């Protein structure tokens, strides 16, 4: 049995009697014959870390008496938690009361009864052991705080929180549930007892014990989860696990719940209120560490996005500078020629110059319109509604009628269109870009087919197929890089078309893509949500 006991008493017979009883029960016993030597022994115990677990102190001793030594101990913070039992032959209650007022934990009257002695010693040593364990756990928490705040990697933080909780709580398993963007709780990390299968499971606020803790921002200690009305048995069923007892504490930062930390099935016993108190100390440190890591992760993602945007802007500047400079150079060159020699210039040549100036000006205007459209997609709020796709496509055909006629293109349209949700003017730009590219890069003559396909996910895929030479896998990988042209010799566009299409479709909740094979043409598509009443295949 653990426990080091120091007896300070000037009576040899008392010391021998107490020592015989206590050593017989496995306790380690030391003794001092007066208060002065007892004080010296206690000071030495501080120095060499051999303080006794319990002090038994006689009141009546020569030199320093027991009450004086007791007062000295309680005035010194180094001995504040040392349990002290006063030994006295005094029959009056005043002496015992004075000893308790000075800080004694208990008293025993001489002659000491064996059963009473062992009961008092066991009680105080159990208290001392519990106190020591609590100090160790608190020290463990302090170290845990330093460990948690030493990294900003979210996965590392989550793993460390679970490991600290599992060891500190002696739990079979731990899990961490975090609030997602849609306000649901997602199990982001789990460990022990096969609970790894919890990862990726979602709970709504209020659903299950974790959901209840999250919603109410209150900790819970559940001794028998199977009979708790809040328990969500479907989770155990999904992961083939049986929860017995558990502790769940909210993860709160600045008054806002960000998740829940849960420990399940204490090994060899059940969770106690002391375990709950320990978890409630760990939780705020874990919440801050998780919040910091998530913030750092978000900032890192935004930095990456900004770097991507900067690269796009550099490409944008180069593309726009090139595409505006070409027609502008034509305008300036022809205008200077007219300025110096228009009086002597033949009429047909003069008309050619003026037509070229006008055509270059209109090209610049189209570029500027495209730039304005691209800039407005990200900030303009539009009303989403059912699309009359037949009417939209007809408008596109009219816009491109001159190109269709010049290229002798064959355009094949379906008999009808499904109803999708979107914004008509933007979708007209998407079709215009896809169809004009199909004509530019199509066969000779171009043959362009437009149609749609219903998808099982509630989206409609609209597509344009051409009879051109097709694209290699390398060309396809570069196709949707903003402001990139694959064939500058054939392209009359200004490198903004697909960037505009991509921004539009993503803004409307869809996706764009291409399917192509060299020698077999290309199919460009975009998806949009189907209208609510739209039947799905």
The pLDDT score that the predictor gives to residue 537 is: 44
**Residue in the block written with tokens 């009257």:** 109
Nearest Cα to 524, choosing from 457, 441, 426? 441
C-alpha–C-alpha distance, residues 222 and 226, integer Å: 9
Convert the pLDDT of each residue in 416-427 to its tens digit.
Answer: 999 999 988 889
The SS3 of residue 375 is helix
What length does the chain have? 537
C-alpha–C-alpha distance, residues 236 and 197, integer Å: 10
| β-strands 4-8, 28-32 pairing | parallel
The SS3 of residue 52 is coil
Please state the φ and ψ torsions of residue 270, each to the nearest 5 degrees: -120, 160
C-alpha–C-alpha distance, residues 147 and 156, integer Å: 10
pLDDT higher than threshold 70 for residue 155: yes
> Containing H/E element for 128?
helix 114-148
C-alpha–C-alpha distance, residues 10 and 57, integer Å: 10
pLDDT-derived band at 136 (thresholds 50, 70, 90) equals: low
pLDDT higher than threshold 90 for residue 8: yes
C-alpha–C-alpha distance, residues 125 and 473, integer Å: 76
The pLDDT score that the predictor gives to residue 417 is: 96
To 10 degrees, what angle do helices 154-169 and 114-148 make?
180
Contact call for residues 226 and 243 (beta carbons, < 8 A) = yes
Higher pLDDT, 530 or 338: 530
The pLDDT score that the predictor gives to residue 402 is: 87
Which residues share a beta bridge with 57? 8, 86
Convert the pLDDT of each residue in 316-338 to its tens digit.
Answer: 666 566 666 667 777 777 777 77
pLDDT-derived band at 278 (thresholds 50, 70, 90) equals: confident
Contact call for residues 505 and 485 (beta carbons, < 8 A) = no
Convert the pLDDT of each residue in 205-258 to its tens digit.
Answer: 888 899 999 999 999 999 998 888 888 777 766 667 788 899 999 999 988 999
Convert the pLDDT of each residue in 431-460 to its tens digit.
Answer: 988 999 999 888 889 999 999 999 988 899
The pLDDT score that the predictor gives to residue 93 is: 72
Contact call for residues 10 and 34 (beta carbons, < 8 A) = yes
Stretch 197-210: mean pLDDT: 88
Higher pLDDT, 278 or 466: 466
> Residue 23: CB partners within 8 Å, gap ≥ 6?
29
C-alpha–C-alpha distance, residues 159 and 148, integer Å: 10
Convert the pLDDT of each residue in 39-92 to its tens digit.
Answer: 999 999 988 989 898 999 998 888 888 999 999 998 998 888 888 998 887 656
The SS3 of residue 433 is helix
Burial track 459-493 (b if 16+ CB lie within 10 A, e otherwise): bbbbbbbbbbbbbeeebbeebeebbebeeeeeeeb
- Domains of the chain plus CATH, in order, are 4-133 (3.40.50.2300), 145-300 (3.30.450.40), 302-377 (1.10.287.130), 385-529 (3.30.565.10)
The pLDDT score that the predictor gives to residue 328 is: 78
The pLDDT score that the predictor gives to residue 226 is: 86
DSSP 447: E
Tokens representing residue 375 in the block: 């800039």
Query: What HEC string does 473-513 produce?
Result: HHHHHHHCCCCCCCCCCCCCCCCCHHHHHHHHHHHCCCCEE
pLDDT-derived band at 312 (thresholds 50, 70, 90) equals: low
pLDDT higher than threshold 60 for residue 536: no
Tokens representing residue 1 in the block: 């049995």
The pLDDT score that the predictor gives to residue 1 is: 46
pLDDT-derived band at 489 (thresholds 50, 70, 90) equals: very low
Tokens representing residue 247 in the block: 């502790």
Stretch 276-304: mean pLDDT: 87
DSSP 520: S
C-alpha–C-alpha distance, residues 494 and 321, integer Å: 10
Nearest Cα to 280, choosing from 260, 294, 295? 260
Query: What HEC string does 330-358 produce?
Result: HHHHHHHHHHHHHHHCCHHHHHHHHHHHH
Write the DSSP assignment of 397-424 as a string of letters.
HHHTHHHHHHHT-EEE--S----BEE-H
| Mean model confidence pLDDT for the chain | 83
Angle (CA) 46-48-49 rounded to 5° is 60
pLDDT-derived band at 187 (thresholds 50, 70, 90) equals: very high
The SS3 of residue 174 is strand
- If you compute the radius of gyration of the chain from its CA atoms, what whole number of angstroms results? 41
């Amino acid at each position: 049995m653990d426990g080091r006991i120091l007896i300070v008493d000037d009576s040899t017979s008392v010391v021998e009697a107490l020592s015989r009883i206590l050593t017989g029960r496995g306790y380690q016993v030391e003794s001092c014959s007066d208060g002065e030597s007892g004080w010296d022994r206690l000071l030495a115990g501080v120095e060499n870390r051999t303080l006794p677990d319990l002090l038994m102190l006689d009141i009546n001793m020569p030199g320093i008496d027991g009450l004086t030594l007791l007062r000295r101990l309680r005035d010194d913070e180094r001995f504040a938690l040392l349990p002290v039992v006063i030994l006295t032959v005094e029959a009056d209650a005043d002496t015992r009361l004075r000893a308790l007022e000075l800080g004694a934990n208990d008293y025993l009257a001489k002659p000491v009864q064996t059963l009473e002695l062992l009961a008092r010693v066991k009680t105080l040593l159990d208290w001392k052991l519990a106190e020591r364990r609590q100090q160790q756990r608190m020290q463990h928490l302090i170290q845990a705080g330093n460990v948690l705040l030493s990294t900003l990697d979210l996965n590392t933080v989550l793993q460390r929180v679970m490991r600290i909780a599992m060891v500190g709580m002696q739990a079979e398993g731990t899990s961490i549930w975090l609030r997602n963007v849609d306000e649901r709780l997602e199990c982001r990390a789990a460990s022990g007892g096969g609970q790894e299968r919890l990862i990726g499971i979602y709970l709504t606020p209020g659903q299950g014990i974790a959901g209840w803790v999250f919603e109410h921002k209150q900790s819970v200690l559940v001794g028998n989860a199977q009979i708790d009305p809040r328990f969500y048995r479907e989770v155990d069923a999904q992961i083939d696990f049986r929860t017995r007892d558990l502790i769940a504490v909210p993860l709160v930062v600045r008054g806002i719940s960000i998740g829940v930390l849960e420990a399940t099935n204490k090994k060899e016993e059940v969770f106690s209120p002391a375990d709950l108190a320990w978890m409630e100390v760990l939780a705020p440190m874990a919440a801050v560490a998780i919040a910091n890591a998530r913030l750092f992760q978000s900032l890192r993602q935004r930095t990456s996005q900004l770097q991507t945007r900067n690269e796009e802007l550099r490409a944008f500047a180069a593309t726009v500078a090139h595409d505006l400079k070409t027609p502008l150079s034509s305008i300036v060159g022809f205008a200077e020629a007219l300025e110096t020699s228009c009086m002597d210039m033949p009429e047909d040549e003069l008309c050619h110059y003026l037509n070229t100036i006008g055509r270059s000006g209109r090209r610049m205007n189209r570029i500027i319109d495209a730039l304005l459209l691209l800039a407005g997609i990200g900030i303009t709020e539009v009303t989403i509604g059912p699309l009359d796709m037949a009417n939209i496509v007809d408008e596109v055909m009219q816009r491109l009628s001159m190109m269709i006629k010049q290229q002798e293109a064959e355009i094949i349209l379906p008999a009808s269109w499904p109803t999708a949700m979107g914004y008509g003017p933007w979708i007209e730009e998407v079709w215009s870009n896809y169809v004009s590219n199909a004509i530019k890069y199509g066969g000779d003559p171009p043959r362009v087919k437009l149609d749609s396909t219903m998808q099982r996910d509630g989206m409609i895929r609209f597509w344009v197929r051409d009879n051109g030479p097709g694209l290699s896998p390398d060309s396809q990988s570069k196709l949707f890089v903003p402001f990139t042209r694959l064939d500058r010799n054939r392209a009359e566009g200004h490198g903004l078309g697909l960037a505009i299409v991509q921004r539009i479709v993503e803004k409307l909740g869809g996706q764009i893509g291409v399917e192509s094979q060299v020698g077999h043409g290309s199919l460009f598509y975009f998806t949009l949500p189907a209208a609510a009443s739209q039947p799905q295949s």
